[in-house]
A and B are shown apart, each in its own frame.
Chain A
Amino acid sequence: MNEWILQTNGLTKKLGGKAVVNDVSLRIRQGDIYGFLGPNGAGKTTTIRMLLGLAKPTQGSVHIFGKELKRERMAILRKVGSLVEYPSYYGHMTAYDNLEALRRILDVPRQRIDEVLAIVRLTKEARRAVKGYSLGMKQRLGIASALLGQPDLLILDEPTNGLDPAGILEIRELIKSMPQAHGVTILVSSHLLSEIDQMASRVGIIAKGRMIFQDEIGALRQRSQARIRFSVSEPEAAWKLLLASGYHADWDRSRLSAEGGDDRAVAAMVAKLVEHDFAVYRVEEENASLERIFLEMTGGEGSL
């Protein structure tokens, strides 16, 4: 078995001739909190459905725990807990009975129900019908259901969707605490970069069905280094001058910017420009936020 706990190769799903998921290769390591990011409709949920065997890939393969999903679906799913999109529950039943219905299928000891209820802090409400629950409580019940079978891998699709800030915080803390407390690996999807940024150790970004970025969260942060923007007379000539002087400058026909170094480098650039009789109107620092990077990468369609 290699180091990847979950690995997909060239995963593709075509619906009506259109590739909704196109050649996606996920790599998740043991103990990761893997943030699966993408705008709405990018193919996150479809990918997750394929990981759980709910949808059949048109092409490509899924390996979890080193086993192929197609061949050993039952053995894999025994060790996977999932929450796909909005939580599934039986509204007329209590939380306890909802978990009991799953427990009968999973065949785990009855005390496990009390354990997972305690983890998501629903013990006090367990005897109430779920239809009277708030969305946050239903979401927590969904996570409890996912945890019931003591999974090694937890797949949570948009677990904070539709929650208020307090609910989001609660779910986030719950997710963050789980790898240490229960030794699980987590795949969590979201369309909110700020969410993922606060919990994930690794990120994969998907847009229009294609994986456009996959690395440690640190690598994404490195891209958000500050740049210096110049407003000058004759920017194109200024750009050529900066390039000739060995600075990493960019000119996109409307804006002149350069890679920001320390103060001294900025001062040297300004001096150079002034020396060559360019009029310098403004020198601004531009902090490319993670969101900007995300938007740029996903072609501006990201909902943030």
Chain B
Amino acid sequence: MLARILSAEFLKIRGKMLWFLAVLGPLGVAGLQGLNYGLRYDYLMNLYQDDPWGGLIRDVSALTLPTLFIGLAILASMAAGIEHQTNAWKQTLALPVPKTAVFAAKALLNVLLLFVSSTLLAVMTIALGATLGFDLGDIPYGDLLQTLYYPFFAALPFMVLQVWLSVTLANQAVPLTVGIIGMIVAMFGSRFDDWVPYKWPHLLNGAGEPLYSVLAGAALGVVLLLAGMAQFARKDVS
């Protein structure tokens, strides 16, 4: 059932710029780093002479977090907006589908799009490194995938939260405001206590184990998803 709703969701976002945004995010991050390296190539290469790939990955990841946070808010809002625009909720929810599945499909759609973005960023980072003449034999794949996918999972609660807000509130100004403030707060996330979710995508914690941040994010994401599904199924459709 979920698969069928999801396939309808993917049909609906055609021509709605969601795919474009999903590509634009990583392209922007890689492009900005390309510019950075292009302008001060000699300085940076001198700085990272022992580990050019490591330096590049760190630079890329510095831009990834804000991009991820603003991207998840915009994607959630646009995906929900497709239904809000002509109030298509009532049509979808009068179909023989569990209301919980409708909510889950929206959330999953956003998670999948962002997963594609993260994957694209990995590919583009390698491409950028290759263009800069780094040795392709030295690519630290483990580090690269960790740097890109760990924050993705640690940011799951925010993806679900934005979907929830965007779906529940017809006025998208509220979820977008929350999303933008969230992006700013997340940039300073490393200063917070360990329990603050905004810190998790930075993968920093007292134990020094990034995986803890990832697990906390994934767990809270699932909890929020279940809560959102329950609330969505209960409320009356306007």
Docked CA distance A73–B95 (Å): 10
Residues of chain B with a CB closer than 8 A to A261's CB? none
Interface hit among A85-93, A180-188, A278-286: A85-93
Does A291 sit at the interface, judged by CB under 8 A?
no
Q: How many residues of A contact B (CB 8 A)?
A: 34
Q: Does any Cβ of A come within 8 Å of B40's Cβ?
A: no
A244 at the interface (CB under 8 A from B): no
Report the Cα distance A76→B95, complex, angstroms. Answer: 10
Q: How far is the CB of B84 from chain A (nearest CB, A)?
A: 11
- With A55-B237, A89-B88, A90-B88 given, is the CB distance from A84 to B94 under 8 Å? yes
- Whether the Cβ atoms of A91 and B94 lie closer than 8 Å is no
- B90 located at the interface, meaning its Cβ lies under 8 Å from any Cβ of chain A in the complex: yes
Stretch at the interface among A4-12, A60-68, A100-108, A163-171: A100-108
Docked complex Cα distance between A145 and B11 (Å): 16
A104–B5 alpha-carbon span in the complex (Å) = 7
Q: When the two chains form their complex, are residues A101 and B12 in contact, meaning their CB atoms are under 8 A apart?
A: yes
Q: Is there an interface contact between B12 and A93, defined as CB atoms closer than 8 Å? A: yes
For chain B residues 69-111, which have a beta carbon within 8 Å of chain A? 82, 85-98
Q: Is the CB of A106 within 8 A of B88?
A: no
Closest partner residue, chain B, to A76 (CB atom): B96
Q: Which of B187-238 contact A (CB under 8 A)?
A: 234, 236-237
In the assembled complex, the CB of B235 is this many whole angstroms from the nearest CB of chain A, namely 9
Whole-angstrom distance from the CB of A263 to the nearest CB of chain B?
A: 55
Alpha-carbon gap, A85 to B94, bound state (A)? 13
Q: Residue B8 at the A interface, CB < 8 A? A: yes
CB-nearest residue of chain B relative to A138?
B86
A56 at the interface (CB under 8 A from B): yes
- Which B residue sits closest to A145, measured CB to CB? B91
* Residues of A contacting B8 in the complex (Cβ-Cβ under 8 angstroms): 101-102, 104-105
Known: A88-B87, A90-B12, A101-B8. A82 touches B96 (CB 8 A): no
User: Which size class do B's interface residues fall under?
Assistant: 20 to 34
| Chain A residue at minimal CB-CB distance from B15 | A92
Task: Judge whether A54 is part of the interface by a CB distance below 8 angstroms.
Answer: yes
* Minimal beta-carbon separation of B87 from chain A (angstroms): 6
In the bound complex, do residue A97 and residue B11 qualify as a contact, i.e. CB atoms below 8 Å apart?
Answer: yes
Residue of A nearest to B91 (CB): A88
Instruction: Identify the interface centre among B15, B86, B93: most chain A CB within 10 Å of its CB.
Output: B86
Instruction: State in angstroms the CA–CA spacing of A209 and B96 once bound together.
Output: 28
Residues in B with CB closer than 8 Å to A82 are 91, 94
Residues of chain B within 8 A of A87, CB atoms compared: 86
Quick one: CB contact mask for B18-34 with A, threshold 8 Å, 1 for yes? Answer: 00000000000000000
Q: Is the CB of B94 within 8 A of A77?
A: yes
- Are B11 and A100 in contact, CB atoms less than 8 angstroms apart? yes
Question: Would you call A106 and B12 a contact (CB within 8 A)?
Answer: no
Docked-complex contact B15 and A93, CB < 8 angstroms: yes
- Nearest-neighbour CB distance to chain B for A167, whole angstroms, equals 19
Residues of B with C-beta under 8 A to A100: 11
Q: Are A90 and B237 in contact (CB under 8 A)?
A: no
Jot down 20 A-B pairs with beta carbons below 8 A, ordered by A. A49-B236, A56-B234, A74-B96, A76-B96, A77-B94, A82-B91, A86-B86, A86-B87, A88-B87, A88-B88, A89-B86, A89-B88, A91-B86, A93-B15, A97-B11, A100-B11, A104-B8, A104-B11, A105-B92, A105-B97
Residues of chain A whose beta carbon lies under 8 Å from any beta carbon of chain B: 49, 52-56, 73-78, 80, 82, 84-93, 97, 100-102, 104-107, 145, 149
Residues on B close to A: CB < 8 A?
4-5, 7-8, 11-12, 14-16, 82, 85-98, 234, 236-237
4 additional contacts (CB under 8 A) given A73-B96, A105-B92, A149-B96:
A56-B236, A76-B96, A78-B96, A105-B4
